[in-house]
Structure 1
């Protein structure tokens, strides 16, 4: 009775609710259903493609913005500002959104047409296989019936008739195998790409940037220097530490990790800071 008119207030918190906003839960975790629904709505607005951007970096930054919006709306974080941000983006990019929406619709129609053709082709092949099997079964029945008629009416010895029948049966099986090999395979994927077609792909644009250089993390603990992880066994720190079990080692855990963390905690703050 709550949605007899399509909308109504919650009986507990009096929040206005609409029947159209409710969905059948598909996943065990309802938060996943919520994220999927929000992502669909967001992607209708943020529907730019990679070719809409002058560089790959700008496209990646755009994707990060989309993920931030989905995260905020899913986790109820800064919802009002996020919605205002979406409205502002929609107003500024209205033409691009409509253009990409129309292009996406055309691509979906082409894909649906290809899928329909593939389904029809698959059904046609299935019917052809069934018809061929029926013809083969009928040919075998005729061959057996012909043998019985010959055994009944012919004056030729039965052994000779059986030998001739085996030869004809072998020839029939050979013809059947040849027909199976002559079946035309599928020549096109549902994506529209021809099977066994050499597709020429353009090389990815090379981004000229300064290469990343790894720098070890130095943590100031205000205490004595902590031995490196590889030095613990040599210095005797692991002598009284429980050995790693096979189950723990399979998960990537080693006793040296826990020992190293304990030593870091023990050495931290032993030297008073200056000032």
Structure 2
């Protein structure tokens, strides 16, 4: 009895609920699902019903409005798992706060627990309307931070793929170098052995020791050459790693817009808005002792000023050399905020307008 029920259930999975077509009769039949209701139907029924526009789900009891572009092939065998994966992906796409946006580890853990509770409510169909309203409100109020975190996640994924490619390339270089080294060593040993035997055969027995020493020197030179080649390969790998790391740094250089206060998520760090820069005052408000480009000194070498400094009559009349120094330097450096080219262009434009006005007036008088 149980086996019969199992066979019936399997047959129902292989039959389209709309046209009642069976995969047994049509092995090429392809079933599609829509994330609105997750009802399975064949591809021909989808084309026939939804090609002209949105329509209600043809399954009895389901009144969801479906669109053709939302239909897709089923990934998991269990529809419940398919639905949970879609809900989790959608919620995590919206609630994508990062750990560095919170005041501490405890606040971030509370956020993760809250996100899992929202996913559990949607999966179990508990307070769906309230949960969806909260998600929609949060997505509307925090669109900028959501997009920024999505961009960071994409860049991290790209950087991770770059590191994987780098590691694969380094492994390939090491394997190739090891194969080449083994092959070169084998050829060198074979050539050295043949050379040693040929020299022994052509020489005297007393020359065996000298021939062995020369062969050993040749082997040492070749070993040194191999080490140099290994150093070259190591430098090549380091250069490759440096270029990939630099590329990854450029990829992750997106500035985070920072968290904002929201009623759904608690424990976020407060945004510190920088103060706007004040407009630059070329005369610096004539504040004594405040100069951006110069440092006011007590005295400056000058024969004329030395006479005034020693003149008691000028000092009695209230003449102050420090005030003279301040005023002179301020006037000298005040021109740094003036743009002569712009002033000349404005002056030329004014002269041309004046000339045109005079010409028009003279023409009117002549008429």
TM-score normalised according to structure 1 size: 0.51
1:22 paired residue among 74, 96, 102: 74
Distance 1:104 1:93, change over 3 A: same
Q: Does 1:75 align with 2:124?
A: yes
**SS of alignment partner, residue 44 of structure 2:** coil
Distance 1:10 1:126, change over 3 A: farther
Give the superposition deviation at 1:141.
1.7
Decide whether the 8 Å contact of 1:6 with 1:20 is kept in 2: no
**How far apart in 1 are the matches of 2:101 and 2:131?**
23
Give the superposition deviation at 1:174.
9.7
Within a 5 Å distance, the mapping from 1:1-275 to structure 2 comes to 1=29, 2-4=42-44, 6=46, 19-20=71-72, 22-25=74-77, 34-152=83-201, 154-157=202-205, 160=208, 164=212, 168=216, 171=219, 175=223, 179=227, 184=234
Decide whether the 8 Å contact of 2:196 with 2:215 is kept in 1: no
Where structure 2 has 5 or more consecutive residues not aligned to the other structure, the ranges are 1-28, 30-41, 50-56, 246-367
**Cα deviation per residue 1:66-97 (whole Å; 9 max; x = unaligned)?**
11112223333333332232222211211111
**How far apart in 1 are the matches of 2:45 and 2:184?**
62
Give the superposition deviation at 1:151.
4.8
Give the superposition deviation at 1:48.
0.9
Give the superposition deviation at 1:44.
1.0
Distance 1:120 1:85, change over 3 A: same
Decide whether the 8 Å contact of 1:34 with 1:74 is kept in 2: yes
Instruction: Find the structure with the greater CA-based Rg.
Output: 2
Decide whether the 8 Å contact of 2:95 with 2:146 is kept in 1: yes
TM-score normalised according to structure 2 size: 0.40
- Larger proportion of helix: 2
* CA RMSD, Structure 1 to Structure 2 (Å): 4.5
Distance 1:146 1:76, change over 3 A: farther
**How far apart in 1 are the matches of 2:177 and 2:76?**
41
Distance 1:76 1:149, change over 3 A: farther
Give the superposition deviation at 1:166.
11
Give the superposition deviation at 1:59.
2.9
**How far apart in 2 are the matches of 1:46 and 1:146?**
74
Decide whether the 8 Å contact of 1:53 with 1:59 is kept in 2: yes
How many residues are aligned here? 188
**How far apart in 1 are the matches of 2:188 and 2:118?**
67
- Name the structure, 1 or 2, with higher relative contact order (CA <8 Å, separation 6+): 2
**How far apart in 1 are the matches of 2:131 and 2:73?**
20
